[in-house]
Amino acid sequence: MANWLAALSRTRNLFAQTLSKLWKSAAAPDGLTLDELEENLLRADLPVALVGELMAHLAREARHGGAEAVAVLRQQLRAALGKHADFAWNSSAKPRVVLIVGVNGSGKTTTCAKLAHLAKNTGQKVLLGAGDTFRAAGVEQLKWWANHLHCDIVAGATGADAAAVAFDAVAAAQARGSDVLLLDTAGRMHTKTPLMQELQKVGGALAKKMPGAPHEVWLVLDATLGQNALVQARQFHAAIPLTGAIISKVDGSSKAGFVFAVAKELGVPIRFIGLGEGEDDLQPFHAAHFVAALLGDEEKG
Ligand SMILES: Nc1nc2c(ncn2[C@@H]2O[C@H](COP(=O)(O)OP(=O)(O)OP(=O)(O)O)[C@@H](O)[C@H]2O)c(=O)[nH]1
Ligand SMILES: [Mg+2]
């Protein structure tokens, strides 16, 4: 929980003052305080519609003091995130093929490494697939992580056909008896049609080698972009059906409120959240932890 609190501090700081005022107040929040809270929540990039609903709830239900107002807020925020059950690594599919996609620099390669670390810790035999055929540095980066984490890796050559590399990675995972194949891909702009088509080809190659694959397609969204990332998400979802989202760089963002928009609009679970750069900094997404860290519940004591 401590790292959730730290990671969300930039976003939380936007409304920490208003919250602390609420905590101390014995009276129901006045109009000025509610206006201030509304403005703070919007700056933290919570969706406008949600903030409107929150304010209506607060005006209606928080009549007995500031602490009650925070309780109403907490409950409404949790409800807005919906259910995001922990991902179960165990599966009848062997290998379980997980495709990691996203725009340039969103955090895909780092996230692949962190996922490998998490899966290994649950006893899975993991194979990393370095499928970034655009940048040799991308492959080197994942190799560094594989070495650091003592994890197996297969890599495609720079300039190779991404679909062929994907096909070979599944073959390697099958040959080695891996439980999970985590396949990194090159960063691609959601607006570039040929690159999005390449992603479809990658999906096709995976299915050709192993019917049913990819079993998971996870989109990595950079939290520093806030709701701007939603446009990307819709385009990726249209190109290749996503099964989950991963939010990266929450620790560097003051717009973590956009997570509420992702939860509402994308229609796929938020699977993991990146709270820092280290291998332990990827955590299963937990709505209650997220909201508690946003409201600074533990700091309050
Ligand atoms: N602070 C912080 N930094 C992160 C997080 N996740 C990734 N990063 C950093 O973001 C930068 C980009 O991460 P990469 O994993 O290389 O991103 P990528 O999507 O693979 O990039 P391309 O392959 O170039 O498209 C790196 O410096 C990472 O260390 C996170 O959760 N928190
Ligand atoms: Mg990369």
Instruction: Tell the residue number behind the tokens 């994907």, with chain if given.
Output: 166
Do 104 and 209 belong to one domain? yes
Residue 201 structure tokens: 């080809």
| Distance, CA of 5 to CA of 237 (rounded, Å) | 30
Task: Say yes or no: CB of residue 105 within 6 Å of ligand 1.
Answer: yes
Q: Is the preceding omega at residue 95 within 30 degrees of 0, hence cis?
A: yes
* 282-284 and 270-274 strand pairing: antiparallel
Do 172 and 201 belong to one domain? yes
- Give the helix ranges, DSSP H, for the chain: 2-7, 9-12, 16-24, 31-43, 48-61, 66-81, 108-121, 136-149, 162-176, 193-209, 229-239, 258-265, 287-295, 297-300
Task: Say yes or no: CB of residue 110 within 6 Å of ligand 1.
Answer: yes
Do 69 and 181 belong to one domain? no
Instruction: Provide the 10 A C-beta neighbour count for residue 240.
Output: 18
| Sign of the torsion formed by the C-alpha atoms of 167, 172, 175 and 176 | negative
| Distance, CA of 167 to CA of 106 (rounded, Å) | 24
36 belongs to a structural domain? yes
90 belongs to a structural domain? no
How remote is the CA of residue 153 from the centroid of ligand 2, in Å? Answer: 15
- List residues bridging with 272 in a β-sheet: 246, 284
Do 145 and 279 belong to one domain? yes
- What is the pLDDT averaged over residues 137-156? 96
* Residue 2, pLDDT score: 62
Q: Give residue 48's domain range.
A: 2-83+295-300
Say yes or no to pLDDT of 242 above 60.
yes
pLDDT digits (tens, 9 = 90+) for 104-128: 999 999 999 999 999 999 999 999 9
| Distance, CA of 216 to CA of 108 (rounded, Å) | 14
How remote is the CA of residue 136 from the centroid of ligand 2, in Å? Answer: 10
Task: Say yes or no: CB of residue 12 within 6 Å of ligand 1.
Answer: no
Give the domain CATH number at 60.
Answer: 1.20.120.140
Do 104 and 52 belong to one domain? no
* Residue 300, pLDDT score: 63
Task: Say yes or no: CB of residue 235 within 6 Å of ligand 1.
Answer: no
Do 181 and 36 belong to one domain? no
272 belongs to a structural domain? yes
Do 73 and 193 belong to one domain? no
Determine which of 26-35, 186-195, 210-219 has the lowest per-residue pLDDT on average: 26-35
Report residues near ion ligand 2: CB below 5 Å.
108-109, 138
How remote is the CA of residue 180 from the centroid of ligand 2, in Å? Answer: 19
How remote is the CA of residue 277 from the centroid of ligand 1, in Å? Answer: 8
Give the domain CATH number at 281.
Answer: 3.40.50.300
112 CA closest ligand 1 atom index: 15
295 within 8 A of 12, measured Cβ to Cβ: yes
| Distance, CA of 176 to CA of 223 (rounded, Å) | 36
| Distance, CA of 247 to CA of 221 (rounded, Å) | 5
Do 59 and 123 belong to one domain? no
User: For residue 296, what is the DSSP state?
Assistant: T
218 belongs to a structural domain? yes
Number of domains in the chain: 2
Containing 155, the helix (H) or strand (E) segment is strand 152-155
pLDDT digits (tens, 9 = 90+) for 151-174: 999 998 889 999 999 999 999 999
